[in-house]
Chains A and B, each alone.
Chain A
Amino acid sequence: MTEPVISLRHVGKLFGDGQVRALHNVSFDVRPGEFLSLVGPSGCGKTTLLRIINGLITLEEGSVTVMGARPEPGPDLAMVFQSARLLPWRTISGNIEFALQLRGHDKAERRQRALALLGAVGLRDFADAFPHQLSGGMQQRVGLARALAVEPRVLLMDEPFAALDAMTREVLRKELLQMWARRRMAIVFVTHDIDEAVYLSQRVVLLRPRPGRIDEVVEVDLPEPRWERDPRPTPEFTALRNHLWDRIHAMAREGEALEELAGAFPMEAIEKPRR
């Protein structure tokens, strides 16, 4: 078995001078070339985990190594956000060149690679358009192209399709799977969509909220390539997704929802009888 590209050990994170515990004792590995999803209800620290892996925020407890070193935003990592986050004053090609420039590529090469990447996501004709001239789905494609342009060994994706319409989302999922099959970088994919997680990934890490911690890690043993033979109508897929939903319903039954309320209101207000 090869070295994991990302390794988290007993990770804990506190916010607000230690008042709010966002993560507690989270440990998992990401293998090279693996597609791993982080799912869970809101408030379970999915995005916080991605930021920790990317080195954007520090942690209080535990340790994280990315390719054997402390995480640091750098050439081997790339991020795709929920919104495309394109620089509105740069052209589409200019936005991709921006990421390449940060990695120290020279000018001619930047333009050439940006055009090649735009070709790969089907937007070559829009290289000199400005972001506001593109639809949301096209902008998100540019965000993906920008991340792929730096040829990362790890691609971090923070609910990249959540803000898109259902049809665009479906198309982009397929494109992502194809892109991943060709390049085989490791992907850490954050989503709150159970079906999406099972459809895309090889492993699903289910998190539970308050504080964010691992509930279960589920292997998704469905045949690939999945963009050719859609696994979603199969009984295996249904079994996996039902299992995950059962766990989430169980979380709710265990009073997690009440705990969430307790964070928002003073305890007495909830514990006291209504009348």
Chain B
Amino acid sequence: MIEQSAKPSPSPAENAPATVSVEELAARGRERRRRQNGFVLGAQVLIGIALLAGMYALNATSGKLIMPRPDDVLAQSIKLWSDGTMLKALGESLTVLVIGYAISIVSGILGGALLGGFHYLSRVLDPYVNALNSTPGAAFIPLIIVWFGLYTEAKVVLVWNAAFFPILINTAAGIANANRELLEMGRAFGARRRELFWSVMLPDALPSILSGLRIGAAISTVGTVIAELTMAQSGLGGLLAQAGNRFQMDKYFAVVIVLMALGTAITALLRYAERRIGRWRITS
């Protein structure tokens, strides 16, 4: 990439009719990209409009219990945001989400590093990790309720239980499968185990760890809503249950939109982090 540079054709006389200036080529490229972007954006807007129109149509034919009118959803959103209900719920949900996710990050990466770094440990614990990972997270809800109650602690435990395993397994796999050639290089230059771990294994595992974190974040959001629906109703999940139980579908949709935005924002944030940290990787 560095070696490439835009050079004019060496013998302009030979292929004079075909010569194009660099500026013109760049302009053409810009134009082509602009048109493509415009097309993609236009299609997206069209689909959005179609969805809204579909909502109106469904509302007109089947009533507001099946589908609320989009403008009612908007009105409800404004109401919930302005009287502080939504903000309070969002705060409660984020508390559970952030604490549970943070604990699963710390414990998942530490545990994964141990499993990945110590071959025997991972061989011994493998059946247990597999069994726990294969059990549906929801199966633990009654046990968590008995052990930790119905409030924030129990919800945090549920979120941790859901997000811990993808982080653990991805970290362990990334470290255990660190590039053998680079490890041999490190050893040949006299690196000891500790130096190999910090300078070769961990950085080499970083992409794998980050994808574990991304999966964990997505599962954390799911876990938060499930906890708020099944334990003491609180946060966005509680709001969802409240609205649903009373068939207030406009309110219900207003909450769903917030959850959508929350999930999207978390994923976008982690994508950004992945790109920042992985900037040494081949990008084209």
Contacts and interface: CB of A to CB of B under 8 A. Distances in A.
Contacts of B184: 56, 81, 85
Given A87-B182, A126-B2, A98 B190 contact: no
Contacts of B2: 126, 129, 133-134
Q: How large is the interface on B (under 10, 10 to 19, 20 to 34, 35 or more residues)?
A: 20 to 34
B189 A130 contact: no
B203 interface: yes
Given A81-B185, A87-B182, A132 B281 contact: yes
Contact of B189 (A79, A88, A131): A79
Interface residues of A, number: 30
Nearest to A54: B188
A146 B2 CA distance: 21
B195 interface: yes
B187 A133 contact: no
Nearest to B191: A102
A130 B282 CA distance: 9
Interface in A84-119: 85, 87-90, 98-99, 102-103
A83 interface: yes
Contacts of A85: 181-182, 184-185
B158 to A, nearest CB: 35
A150 interface: yes
B85 interface: no
Which DSSP category, helix, strand, loop or mixed, fits chain A's interface?
loop
A231 interface: no
B189 A87 contact: no
Interface in B190-210: 190-191, 195, 199-200, 203-204, 206
Which DSSP category, helix, strand, loop or mixed, fits chain B's interface?
helix
A56 B190 CA distance: 10
A102 B188 contact: no
Nearest to B2: A133
B280 interface: yes
Contacts of B188: 54, 56, 73, 77-79, 156
A131 B185 CA distance: 15
Of the candidates A77, A89, A130, A135, the one having the most CB atoms from chain B within 10 angstroms of its own CB is A89
Contacts of A99: 189
B181 to A, nearest CB: 5
Nearest to B200: A87
Interface of A: 54, 56, 73-75, 77-79, 81, 83, 85, 87-90, 98-99, 102-103, 126, 129-135, 146, 150, 156
Give the 4 A-B CB pairs with smallest separation, nearest first: A79-B188, A85-B185, A89-B280, A73-B190
